[in-house]
Amino acid sequence: MKQLSAQQLRWLLVVSSILLLIGFVAPMLTISKFIVVKHSLSILAGVWQLLIEGQFFLFVIIALFSIVMPIAKIILLFNLLHPATRQPKRRKKLLHLMHDYGRWAMLDVMVVAILIVSVKLGAIASIQVHSGLYIFGAAVLLIMFITQQVVSLSEVSQAATS
């Protein structure tokens, strides 16, 4: 597969950032309780609801892994793709940071969160999935692809300077 340029990766990162922001606010699922009560949730609304209900542990976990970590990863990728980031020590430090924290994938945390909701409500409610889930998932997958491309690009540029 052809290696994308840093400029192309920056544009893809802009697209993934937009998708991520839309994924945060777009309805992900509608919970129907007892056939008459329907409640649609986005990631931000769901996280806020957890905070309001006093579910602090779930609030912190889901907010951290579904909101904070993706934003941090995008910022880190933008730093790695910035033309001024050519110092080998800085690139190596940023790549190491991304490697250490990049393993905490956003998608699996969202799946776990949806499973928690599904299991918790199984007998008394039904869940209908909406576009927000797919948009968020597309953003996550695109960020994972960009991360892989940045690592490959860094390895190529490192080999060229050696």
Report CA-CA distances (Å) from 65 to 6, 70, 109, 158: 26, 7, 7, 31
Please give the tally of structural domains in the chain: 1
Q: What is the CATH number of the domain that holds 120?
A: 1.20.140
Measured between alpha carbons, how far is 47 from 60 in angstroms, rounded to an integer?
A: 9
**Best mean pLDDT range from 10-14, 55-59, 110-114, 138-142:** 10-14
Q: Is residue 32 part of a domain?
A: yes
Q: Is residue 1 part of a domain?
A: no
The answer to whether residue 119 scores a pLDDT higher than 60 is no
Q: Is residue 12 part of a domain?
A: yes
Domain that holds residue 157: 6-161
What pTM was estimated for this model as a whole?
0.79
pLDDT tens readout for residues 54-65: 889 888 888 888
Q: Is residue 97 part of a domain?
A: yes
Q: Is residue 115 part of a domain?
A: yes
pLDDT tens readout for residues 16-57: 999 999 999 999 888 777 667 677 788 888 888 888 988 898
